[in-house]
Chain A
């Protein structure tokens, strides 16, 4: 009754204060080992030269917003998905379309190439992950060969598949232990929703892109945020991020149609790339690092180098 409610409120209040207390202590612990900033350490690193990156290929063929893309291991094929449910496989070097599939749902939000290069997986608002084997026989009905699987089709793209319902709705970046199913680390320094996360090539850190117009670097061993990539003139959220092969460059696609290139170590912006006519929704560096591809709501994909 009334007394019960009162008791529950007290418990809630005491739990809340205990949680805040512990959080504060945790922050203190984390801060103890923070003896230097990244840009200080990076002072001895040579600055990068002038960057001239341009669109080298434009892939036109989607009839609606491009939502996701992935590279094939062969370094030139790309799979991309769009809002109208179409999934297209391109040889982006020649810009030829090689396969096209129509998904039964719209907003195909994730697609990935199997490491073997022989199948693609995609998923959307149907909450399923479907796998399509790729065949070169034009008469075969690809849709008929589709198999639905629950999870675990492409481990390396786990970021876009398994975390997609978590990272879009939170300012927290969480690292999960796949075995125990528990969250082992959480970072909450962004001021708005996080849209994209990507591991640093060594695996010891990851970058995140957020609606607060910043990208941040979190170190897993130091257990803290170690860099913020932001500029006053950058106002719109970053929708997708990826590292170059060495981890020296961070490419981030933004909702104001631009792509900003960051020097990961020095924290400065190296270049801003214009070209897309609507927001950049997805961005991946090619497997051999010779280029990166961006997909946009302007229905196109662009390969930059």
Chain B
């Protein structure tokens, strides 16, 4: 084993779950019974034991994980890239070749997670050894690093050279085979931790991750933390929940209903533009089009939101409202949506506009809301915020969906379907507004109702 300074205390291994998983895989690959077939590999004049071929590695992965050869090759390549398996013949390139190319398993001492992060001093010693041994034939980027390190740790350079010479001397006393193997192992380690320019750095993480992890690990849990947890648990205990079977059935019916409308699942006619390079599908389904497709019209029946978000659907609905009911309900609903999703700065103006147009006594487009809701809404308007019209909006929404929509039939001669039957299930509609609303329907202790919620 190459002598060197003790591995510095690194990042806790828990922060790199993929490394631990890779380690488990290579350990099982080396199992004497179930692992990859080992053989001795002749290299120049030495024989290296415990070598495996690239194709055996791929085969083993294919069988072990029941995956395709392509995926097995990819997984094997990833193991090599991270230095867990190294090539014996061409140690400069960490690539997995699915043929007779010999590979070996990296020793745990040099696992990425063991010696993490790689120490500058160790790299300096490694480069110094290479420099001395090969009489100064370092690769260009290695020369640059060597010079940089020399400047940086010039005060400890004697130590570096001394260590390098000592390690080389100790290595000379080993058998040729061992020397070769250790050199390969070390080279692989440094290829992973100090990749040459152009090669991807497999150890790179995104920003902000490191510091966040470190602070989290060392966080002491204060009384405040536990108080918050207790508070959260108490609130959560009072929540109403729905049986799993009900929730899961809902996915089945949702996916079943929407499946034919999902181009990636069911395809689309005449063709998917991305596949055929023909944008006919988009032309046929343009926002405003004279003749909407059958599938599109079917979607209007899925939910109120679908109907309103489609300009053609909305136009038809407005048309209908104009004839049978008055349009101020819809206009009010849309104004509420604008408030909910609009700019914060606009809130006071919008609230005022809505009040003047729809809620004030004698307003031009007065909406018919029950007195209790109206009272509460007007009260809330004194301190306007973007959710202040939620209750009124829900009330109008119910009115629209319970009365207007189910009776929306088509005029003669059109190709639209007739909606019959009860209005859409409340849960489906309410997800449009807020999931809280569903729970509101169950009876519960009064104190669970927050300010502003309507009780049925």
Which of B248, B262, B387 is within 8 Å of A244, CB to CB? B262
Which of B236, B242, B275, B431 is within 8 Å of A202, CB to CB? B431
Shortest beta-carbon distance, B313 to chain A, in Å?
Answer: 15
Stretch from B122-130, B154-162, B226-234, B323-331 forming part of the interface with A: B226-234
Please, how many angstroms separate the alpha-carbon atoms of A45 and B387 in the complex?
40
Q: Are A23 and B233 in contact (CB under 8 A)?
A: yes
Contacts of B209 in A (CB 8 A): 168-169, 193
Is B250 interfacial (CB-CB < 8 Å)?
Answer: yes
Is A140 interfacial (CB-CB < 8 Å)?
Answer: no
Render A234-271 as a binary contact track against B, CB cut-off 8 A, 1 for contact.
01110000001111110000011010000011000000
Shortest beta-carbon distance, A301 to chain B, in Å?
Answer: 13
Please, how many angstroms separate the alpha-carbon atoms of A277 and B198 in the complex?
12
Is B143 interfacial (CB-CB < 8 Å)?
Answer: no
Q: Count residues of chain A with CB under 8 A from any CB of chain B.
A: 94
Evaluate whether A237 and B244 lie within 8 angstroms (CB atoms) in the complex, with A19-B230, A25-B237 already known.
Answer: no
Is A60 interfacial (CB-CB < 8 Å)?
Answer: no
Evaluate whether A11 and B255 lie within 8 angstroms (CB atoms) in the complex, with A56-B274, A289-B264 already known.
Answer: no
Evaluate whether A107 and B247 lie within 8 angstroms (CB atoms) in the complex, with A246-B258, A247-B254, A290-B272 already known.
Answer: no
Which residues 328-373 of B sit at the A interface, judged by CB distance below 8 A? 341, 343-344
Render B396-436 as a binary contact track against A, CB cut-off 8 A, 1 for contact.
00000000000000000000000000000001100110011
Which of A36, A244, A274 is within 8 Å of B74, CB to CB? A274
Q: Are A18 and B75 in contact (CB under 8 A)?
A: no
Contacts of B75 in A (CB 8 A): 233, 235
Shortest beta-carbon distance, A131 to chain B, in Å?
Answer: 10
Contacts of A235 in B (CB 8 A): 18, 21-22, 25, 75, 78
Which residues 69-127 of A sit at the B interface, judged by CB distance below 8 A? 75-76, 93, 107, 109, 125
Q: Are A289 and B262 in contact (CB under 8 A)?
A: yes
Contacts of B265 in A (CB 8 A): 48, 244-246, 248-249
Is B263 interfacial (CB-CB < 8 Å)?
Answer: yes
Stretch from B50-58, B174-182, B277-285 forming part of the interface with A: B277-285
Contacts of B78 in A (CB 8 A): 235-236, 256
Is B36 interfacial (CB-CB < 8 Å)?
Answer: no
Whose C-beta in chain B lies nearest to the C-beta of A57? Answer: B274
Q: Are A204 and B200 in contact (CB under 8 A)?
A: no
Render B73-111 as a binary contact track against A, CB cut-off 8 A, 1 for contact.
011001000000000000000000000000000000000
Please, how many angstroms separate the alpha-carbon atoms of A230 and B409 in the complex?
47
How many residue pairs bridge A and B at CB < 8 Å? 234
Is B197 interfacial (CB-CB < 8 Å)?
Answer: no
Shortest beta-carbon distance, B450 to chain A, in Å?
Answer: 8
Evaluate whether A265 and B255 lie within 8 angstroms (CB atoms) in the complex, with A18-B230, A93-B273, A219-B247 already known.
Answer: yes
Render A44-66 as a binary contact track against B, CB cut-off 8 A, 1 for contact.
11001000010011000000000
Which residues 138-165 of A sit at the B interface, judged by CB distance below 8 A? 151-152, 155
Please, how many angstroms separate the alpha-carbon atoms of A113 and B257 in the complex?
29
Q: Are B274 and A222 in contact (CB under 8 A)?
A: no
Is A185 interfacial (CB-CB < 8 Å)?
Answer: yes
Q: Are B226 and A18 in contact (CB under 8 A)?
A: yes
Shortest beta-carbon distance, B46 to chain A, in Å?
Answer: 34
Q: Are B226 and A19 in contact (CB under 8 A)?
A: yes
Is B32 interfacial (CB-CB < 8 Å)?
Answer: no
Shortest beta-carbon distance, B179 to chain A, in Å?
Answer: 33
Q: Are B247 and A222 in contact (CB under 8 A)?
A: yes
Is A4 interfacial (CB-CB < 8 Å)?
Answer: no
Stretch from B4-12, B63-71, B132-140, B187-195 forming part of the interface with A: B63-71
Is B252 interfacial (CB-CB < 8 Å)?
Answer: yes
Which of B226, B268, B344, B431 is within 8 Å of A203, CB to CB? B431
Q: Are A289 and B263 in contact (CB under 8 A)?
A: yes
Is B389 interfacial (CB-CB < 8 Å)?
Answer: no
Q: Are A245 and B274 in contact (CB under 8 A)?
A: no
Contacts of B148 in A (CB 8 A): none
Evaluate whether A226 and B431 lie within 8 angstroms (CB atoms) in the complex, with A56-B274, A93-B279, A221-B241 already known.
Answer: no
Please, how many angstroms separate the alpha-carbon atoms of A47 and B234 in the complex?
42
Contacts of B232 in A (CB 8 A): 183, 186
Is B259 interfacial (CB-CB < 8 Å)?
Answer: yes
Is B446 interfacial (CB-CB < 8 Å)?
Answer: no
Whose C-beta in chain B lies nearest to the C-beta of A67? Answer: B206
Shortest beta-carbon distance, A125 to chain B, in Å?
Answer: 7
Whose C-beta in chain B lies nearest to the C-beta of A16? Answer: B226
Please, how many angstroms separate the alpha-carbon atoms of A201 and B259 in the complex?
12
Shortest beta-carbon distance, B79 to chain A, in Å?
Answer: 9
Q: Are A288 and B263 in contact (CB under 8 A)?
A: yes
Which residues 1-46 of A sit at the B interface, judged by CB distance below 8 A? 8, 11-12, 15-16, 18-19, 22-23, 25-26, 29-30, 33-38, 41-42, 44-45
Please, how many angstroms separate the alpha-carbon atoms of A12 and B230 in the complex?
12
Please, how many angstroms separate the alpha-carbon atoms of A249 and B241 in the complex?
26
Whose C-beta in chain A lies nearest to the C-beta of B215? Answer: A169
Given contacts A34-B244, A264-B255, 10 further A-B contacts (CB under 8 A): A222-B242, A223-B239, A245-B261, A246-B259, A248-B258, A249-B265, A256-B18, A256-B74, A274-B70, A290-B268
Instruction: List 13 A-B pairs, Cβ < 8 Å.
Output: A12-B221, A12-B222, A18-B230, A26-B236, A36-B248, A38-B248, A45-B256, A168-B208, A186-B232, A212-B17, A246-B257, A248-B258, A291-B272
